[in-house]
Amino acid sequence: MASSTFSFFFLTLLLLAVITAVTPCPPSERAALLAFKAALTEPYLGIFNTWNGTDCCGTWYGIACDPTTGHVTDVNLRGESQDPMFQKLGRSGYMTGKISPEICTLSNLTSLVVADWKAISGDIPACVTSLSSLRLLDLAGNRLTGQIPTDIGNIWSLSVLSLADNEISGEIPTSIVNLARLMHLDLSNNHLSGEIPYDFGKLRMLSRALLSGNQLTGSVPKSVSKMKRLADLDVSLNRLTGFIPVELGKMKVLSTLKLDGNSMTGPVPPTLLSNTGMGILNLSRNGFSGIIPDVFVADSYFMVLDLSFNNFSGRIPGSLSASKFMGHLDLSNNHLCGTIPIGSPFDHIDAASFSNNDCLCGNPLKTC
């Protein structure tokens, strides 16, 4: 008798657990999504037309839930999409309105994507920093204003943060360096000011740091060299000053470095040009000076090497001829002199890449 009672009790608990597990979209989460929807207007595609009924996990466009708990885990709304809904109408997305703080009540969110809608405005809700399970936050391609939430570093599980192509102002919060799991950071094309945090190098998991097209000042932090996984650093089109940290040339994974369009000065570290892992190096439109180090080696493989619009002097390094590959080379608008070396890669580079120097000569320019 006791055994059968226990079995009945156990089966009852199991049944309740199964019922609970398959009950999708709790009413409070559905209400939060509807409040989020109410703050936005999407006039062309009708993506919110699917947001009706009680099961937001099953048929609501862009919404996904945990199959075990039924909690909403993903809000994925992209205005640039290969979804048939977009292709059928032959247009990208357009949405106005604001991002409602009600979205923050979805405490189990792992991804929040509201990107490329062109006209969503207002601030980033400060409460997003309470979403401790969030791994992906992508709000790029809108018209968001205000500042990056001060406590952004509280989202300890975040691996992707993209706020690019908005109108966000203020400084990069110092707490951002606490995002120990961050792998991709894109803050490009905003109105950010102030300096890059001096301890930016604490982001040891970061592989891409895209900060271009802002109004950042100060210098490139030396701590960047501690980021052993960093492959792409783009701080172009800012107001940065100072020298290139020598340590950058010793980074083994760094393959793309864009410093163009700043006010940086000083010499180019030789290790930056002899680093065989470097594939795209753009230092154009700064105030760099001195000679171009003659340190290129047989394994040098540059898809882009742009040193134009600086104050480099002396001769073109002969060791450039030893490079395994040189795709785009631009040495124009400097103070270089002497004969342009012959052979590869110089035999396929046009005259514009050498123009407006002091006294360069030889093919493809005038004869010496």
One-letter amino acid of 258: K
pTM of the full structure:
0.91
pLDDT at 237 over 80: yes
How many Å apart are CA 345 and CA 324, to the nearest integer?
A: 9
Q: What is the DSSP letter of 173?
A: P
How many Å apart are CA 124 and CA 112, to the nearest integer?
A: 12
pLDDT of residue 5: 47
Range scoring the smallest mean pLDDT among 2-6, 99-103, 235-239, 282-286: 2-6
Q: Do β-strands 208-210 and 232-234 pair in parallel, antiparallel, or remain unpaired? A: parallel
Radius of gyration (Cα) for the chain, nearest Å?
27
pLDDT of residue 22: 53
Measured on CA atoms in the order 194, 196, 199, 204, is the torsion positive or negative? positive
What torsion do the CA atoms of 243, 247, 250, 254 make, to the nearest 10 degrees?
-70
How many Å apart are CA 107 and CA 102, to the nearest integer?
A: 11
Write down the domain spans for the chain.
Answer: 63-361
Pick the CATH number of 63-361 from 2.60.40.10, 3.80.10.10, 3.20.20.70, 3.40.50.970: 3.80.10.10
Q: How confident is the model at residue 13 (pLDDT cuts 50, 70, 90)?
A: very low
For residues 27 and 33, is the Cβ–Cβ distance under 8 A? no
Q: Do β-strands 95-98 and 40-41 pair in parallel, antiparallel, or remain unpaired? A: antiparallel
φ, ψ for residue 179, nearest 5 deg: -80, 75
Summarised one tens digit per residue, pLDDT across range 310-357 is 999 999 999 998 888 889 999 999 999 999 998 888 888 899 999 999
Alpha-helical regions (H) of the chain:
2-21, 27-38, 84-89, 270-274
One-letter amino acid of 35: A
H or E stretch at 98: strand 95-98
DSSP character string of 142-167: S--BSB--TTGGG-TT--EEE--SS-
How many Å apart are CA 98 and CA 95, to the nearest integer?
A: 9
